[in-house]
A and B are shown apart, each in its own frame.
Chain A
Amino acid sequence: MRHVAVIDYGMGNLRSVSKALEAVASDVTVKVTADPKLIQSASHVVLPGVGAIRDCIDELARLNLDMIIQEVAQTKPLLGICLGMQALLSHSEENNGINALNIIPGRVRQFDVALPRTERDFKVPQMGWNQVHQLFSHPLWKDIKQDSRFYFVHSYYAEPKDKAVTAATTDYQHDFTSALCKDNIFAAQFHPEKSQHDGLQLLQNFLNWDGQS
């Protein structure tokens, strides 16, 4: 039986991701793992993550998973979630500047935390359900309505160099890239595993995806 590997590098709540995948997986098992072999033999790979980018990149390097992810990024469907999306970019402003995996050229920027009090509608982190505006059709958007709400928790957002990889935008302070895709890679700033029906649908779509857009 084929399996989906959820990369376990010690960051955050992987149980949520694995439980949500299990809820939609019919012909695939879910393995939460840091074992390179299990990641390499998986049909699909999920890079989740919450927390801070420095720890994320350090842990991936310590576990020799950075090279494995580079390899996966060339070969099979890869889904980055939240910090797992940000880690795919070249560089993040977080932790005084951290070089990330550089799989998707671009940088990760912080929301403006110094807005005047009158604009305090924009608290940081953005926490809650915001609308995801799809920019083009993609297998991962199948059966998900335009502008559906997904659950976000983040203070930083990806700014890819090539605008063409932005698969969806969300308005918070300004429009930012809330999902991106490039070849066999799809990444979301929101948490599909916490976004009820539409989130489960997206995970299901990912498991059904052959990596072609």
Chain B
Amino acid sequence: MALAKRIIPCLDVDNGRVVKGVKFVDIRDAGDPVEIAKRYDQQGADELTFLDITATHNNRDTIVHVVEAIASEVFIPLTVGGGIRKLEDIRRMLNAGADKVGINSAAILRPEFVREAAEKFGSQCIVVAIDAKCTSSKGQPETWEIFTHGGRKATGLNAIEWAKKMVSYGAGEILLTSMDRDGTKSGFDLALTRAVSQAVNTPVIASGGVGKLQDLTDGVKIGQADAVLAASIFHFGEHSVGEAKAQMASQGIEVRI
């Protein structure tokens, strides 16, 4: 008997529709978020994460309505990220029915925001999202740096040090995305995942690169992730969450069936 490792389907939402880009281009429409959320819930998803990638400010209310609609029908934890910049943004999402919010660039602009958010709403609902790229040259010990703007803008921040800092500021969980792997279907960056998971004492969600079910298992067994996040392998019906859990269970990982 133990805590189960979690599988978290991720829905990128643009103007109220679920989309998934490959390295942020080639956006394919994958459907209605409420319908997809219900499908994943029925398949046994442990949580759901929504990333609002709506570019324009005046369409930001759309995600609030999406969350409200899902929270009325789906009774598993919901995380919303994208555009969370002020305490007021967090309040709105929680009031809409989200359980956690993902904070990314706002934390980089002003780390104190994470502390204030954790003090106000509790660490349990503050997920710090980290987008990292490997920046060491071949043959050197691997190091990773935080990038923003969809992986285009370097920050100079070391990913592992940043993760530790964010936890000390009150982050209750780290959502760790490899920008080298995101959308490539070549598997998680396992070295990155393991390095961060060992560095912090809060749960770490591995993200970026899942192309086959074995990648999820590897994320837990080799990457030591507490949860694994994936989008496209579930969206286009290649695999169900149930299949992913069966595969993980067959290799000795405790999952919720």
CB-based contact A16/B99 at 8 Å: yes
Interface of A is mostly: mixed
Considering only CB atoms, which chain A residue lies closest to B4 in the complex?
A129
Q: Are B124 and A15 in contact (CB under 8 A)?
A: no
Contacts of A15 in B (CB 8 A): 71, 94-97
Given A16-B97, A194-B77, decide whether A129 and B6 contact each other with a Cβ distance below 8 A. yes
Query: What count of chain B residues pass the 8 Å CB interface test?
Result: 36
Choose among A52, A117, A149, A199 the residue that contacts B75 (Cβ–Cβ < 8 A).
Answer: A199
Q: Is the CB of A129 within 8 A of B46?
A: yes
Interface residues of B in 104-137 (CB under 8 A from A): 119, 121-125
What residues of chain B lie closer than 8 Å to A20, measured between beta carbons? 75
CA distance A109 to B72 in the complex (A): 33
Q: A15-B97, A19-B97 are in contact. Are A128 and B227 (CB under 8 A)?
A: yes
Q: Report if A151-B77 is in contact (Cβ < 8 Å); known contacts: A13-B98, A19-B72, A120-B201.
A: yes
Which A residues are in CB contact (< 8 Å) with B75?
16, 19-20, 23, 193-196, 199-200
Contact with A along B63-84 (1 / 0, CB 8 A): 0000000011001110000000
Please, could you name 20 A-B residue pairs with CB atoms under 8 Å apart, sorted by A? A13-B99, A23-B72, A50-B122, A50-B124, A50-B125, A51-B121, A113-B201, A125-B123, A125-B172, A126-B3, A128-B3, A130-B4, A131-B2, A151-B76, A152-B3, A153-B77, A153-B124, A171-B1, A172-B3, A195-B75
List 8 tightest A-B contacts by C-beta distance, closest first. A51-B122, A129-B256, A153-B124, A129-B4, A130-B3, A13-B94, A149-B256, A127-B203
Binding site for A on B (CB under 8 A): 1-6, 41, 46, 71-72, 75-77, 94-99, 119, 121-125, 172-173, 197-198, 201-203, 224, 226-227, 256
